[in-house]
Amino acid sequence: MPRDLPARRAVALVLTALLALPTPALAWGRNGHRASARLAESRLTPEARAAARALLDEGESLADASTWADEHSREIPGSGAWHYVNVPIDAPRYDDRHCRDNCVVSRLAEFRRILADPTAPRERRRMALRYVVHLVQDLHQPLHVGDRRDRGGNATQVSLFRDDRTNLHQVWDSGLLRNGYRNERAVADALFDLAREPEARDWTGGAAEDWADESLAAARRAYREPGSNRPIQSGARLGREYQDANLPVVVERLTKAGLRLSEVLNADLAAAGRAKAPARPPARVPAQAPR
């Protein structure tokens, strides 16, 4: 028997165990995150666009950066809790006691401070930029905020059309978008179209806590059968009625996330630029001509 065979078997067992671990679901799915980031990027000021390009890897766009936090979550222990906050759906609004300083609201604030600090190391600001992009979007996903004591819908098993192996959280993460749009470009087109509508002018501004309250209100509807107050239970079969009632909500939440993200980045990257800019030297006073 080869001497290294036991070691090979041990490695194989470890790899098998890793492959058996559940893959973390992307909030909004890849297409939703990227489409919302494309909308935000289209509305950056030249100053913010240049600052973002200088922080990110060469050739990396905001759309690329938008999924980084999920793709690297296993490399950052404890970061899973940064993507959501569990607010009971019967709560009137978000409150800091739901967060306990370790949720999407508090972590977004922390990463915004790092991003706006020009003295922070570039590596930290690059990571902060990636997280700011991602967490603004996660905060707009209703079931990353509203919770019915089922881990934001993860423990409520349902089917959506022919997908019998899903849950309510995954329906909102990606199922509704997947059944509504064929690819990222189609999602982006829907977001850009909605952003041009007159009502979108009122969607900018606000704080993270306000966005959490909006998501909480949307989560209350997400947990109900369309057109009624009947709660969705495990085993429910969701179809065209649920899709038609809630896909517009998904598009609106992603559009709001993109518009607000552009404002956040325009503000934070500009703040860092202003703080970094050297002070102008005092103007020279010409010497008086001799009399």
Query: What does 118-144 look like in DSSP terms, one character per residue?
Result: TTS-HHHHHHHHHHHHHHHHHHTSGGG
Please tell me the predicted confidence (pLDDT) of residue 164: 85
Confidence of residue 165 (pLDDT cuts 50, 70, 90): confident
Residue 61 lies in a domain: yes
**Looking at the predicted structure, is the pLDDT value of residue 22 above 60?**
no
**In-domain check, residue 263:** yes
- Asked whether residue 108 is assigned to any structural domain, the reply reads yes
Q: Considering the domain boundaries, does residue 73 fall inside one?
A: yes
- Confidence at residue 243, expressed as pLDDT on a 0 to 100 scale: 98
pLDDT in tens, 216-264: 999 999 999 999 999 999 999 999 999 999 999 999 999 999 999 999 9
Q: What is the CATH number of the domain that holds 51?
A: 1.10.575.10
Residues of the domain holding 229: 25-274
The tens digit of pLDDT for each residue in 169-180 reads: 999 999 999 999
Residue among 22, 3, 48, 103 at smallest CA distance from 263? 48
Maximum CA extent, the chain: 105
Q: Which residues contact 59 (CB under 8 A, 6 or more apart)?
A: none
Q: Evaluate whether residue 245 is within a structural domain.
A: yes
Q: Looking at residues 115-136, what average pLDDT do you find?
A: 97
147 occurs within a structural domain: yes
Q: Measured in whole angstroms, how far is the alpha carbon of residue 170 from the centre of its chain?
A: 15
* pLDDT tens digits for range 257-291: 999 999 999 999 987 766 665 544 444 444 444 33
- Confirm whether 75 is domain-assigned: yes
> What mean pLDDT value characterizes the chain?
88
- 143 part of a folded domain: yes
Nearest Cα neighbor of 264 from 184, 199, 219, 210 is 210
For the entire predicted model, the pTM comes to 0.86
Residue 163: its pLDDT value, please? 87
What pLDDT, on the 0 to 100 scale, is given for residue 226?
95
Contact 123, 55 (CB under 8 A): no
The answer to whether the beta carbons of residues 59 and 126 sit under 8 Å apart is no
pLDDT in tens, 179-208: 999 999 999 999 999 999 999 999 999 999
| pLDDT of res. 21 | 35
Q: How many domains does the chain divide into?
A: 1
